[in-house]
Amino acid sequence: MRVLVAGATGAVGRRLVPRLEAAGHEVVGISRRGPRPVDVLDAGAVERAVAEAAPDAVVHQLTDLGGADGAANNRVRVEGTRHLVDAARAAGVRRIVAQSISWAYAPGDGPADESVPLDATDEPPRARIVAGVRALETRVAELPEAVVLRYGILYGPGTWYAPGGAVAAALAGDAEARFLGSTAADASVSSFVHVADAADAAVRALAWPSGAYNVVDDEPAPAHAWLPHLARALGVPAPARTEGRVPWARGALNARARGLGWAPARPSWRTGFVDQGA
């Protein structure tokens, strides 16, 4: 299969491209940087790139997280996805696999599966985040075969949670550290996934039925459990435990993706944080 990877130089994309090639696919990668620079906010540029690539499938791994600017990332989800889907349709592409997130679900007491609706909150800034996710997922579903991968919080090389990354800096007391997340060691629950496991899921998803899939590890956990463990792995001070829980911070379940043969090589952040890889 000829596959166009949009976001080929990102934290997931860098691991996805060689895995696709190892699986026998012919890969064309585009990104804002690298050998095929394309601005996803430029509709004409995206249309030309997809037409030239003439792919059988598109894998959407586009984000704008370098500056920890939520509005910029949301624009990629909304406008960038619109341009990519329109270009794919114009090129006759039927199948798309797109990166989404697993923490946009409505509030609840336990980890969410894919039957839980997205949050209907009107409270900023979460309302903007969920609206962007909803727009992304709705737009990719316009193609006949659309798979949405709702990733957990990404960790590993190239992410905020890697050694030397923004989270380590924030925990060490650097007031200038920028990332979208929290270092409150409370009862808010998160699900994680290593970037290599996220990439493996994207390869497999080229053959999955249309729909949404949580791509997370096996252990949703409260921040007061995982944050001290992360701090030890990063060699920085652990935050003091606090009370309370953000109602939507509930984690997610991966049974649907596991049912199709995917399994995380790092099934728990407990071991994953210690050995994040190169």
Closest by Cα among 155, 154, 152 to 163: 155
The answer to whether the pTM exceeds 0.75 is: yes
How many C-beta neighbours within 10 Å does residue 145 have? Answer: 16
Among 161, 171, 205, smallest CA distance to 59 is for 205
pLDDT at 161: 98
pLDDT at 83: 98
Which pLDDT score, from 0 to 100, does residue 35 have? 76
Helix (H, G, I), strand (E, B) or coil at 8: coil
> What pLDDT is stored for residue 191 in this prediction?
98
Confidence at residue 36, expressed as pLDDT on a 0 to 100 scale: 79
- Residue 33 has a pLDDT of 83
Per-residue H/E/C for 14-83: HHHHHHHHHCCCEEEEEECCCCCECCCCCHHHHHHHHHHHCCCEEEECCCCCCCCCHHHHHHHHHHHHHH
What's the pLDDT score for residue 47? 98
Q: How far is CA 208 from the centre of its chain?
A: 18
Strands 57-60 and 211-215: unpaired
Q: Which residues, in sequence order, are CB contacts of 190 under 8 Å at separation 6+? A: 103, 152, 153, 220, 221, 223, 226, 249, 251
Q: Which amino acid is at 164?
A: G
Helix, strand, coil share of the chain (percent; to 5)? 35, 20, 45
pLDDT 10s per residue in the chain (278 long)? 999 999 999 999 999 999 999 999 999 999 988 777 999 999 999 999 999 999 999 999 999 998 999 999 999 999 999 999 999 999 999 999 999 999 999 999 999 999 999 999 999 999 999 999 999 999 999 999 999 999 999 999 999 999 999 999 999 999 999 999 999 999 999 999 999 999 999 999 999 999 999 999 999 999 999 999 999 999 999 999 999 999 999 999 999 999 999 999 999 999 999 999 87
Q: Which of 6, 5, 11 is nearest to 276 (CA)?
A: 11
The burial of 243, by beta-carbon neighbours within 10 Å (0-12 exposed, 13-18 middle, 19 or more buried), is given as exposed
Which residues, listed in sequence order, are joined to residue 147 by a DSSP beta bridge? Answer: 97, 211
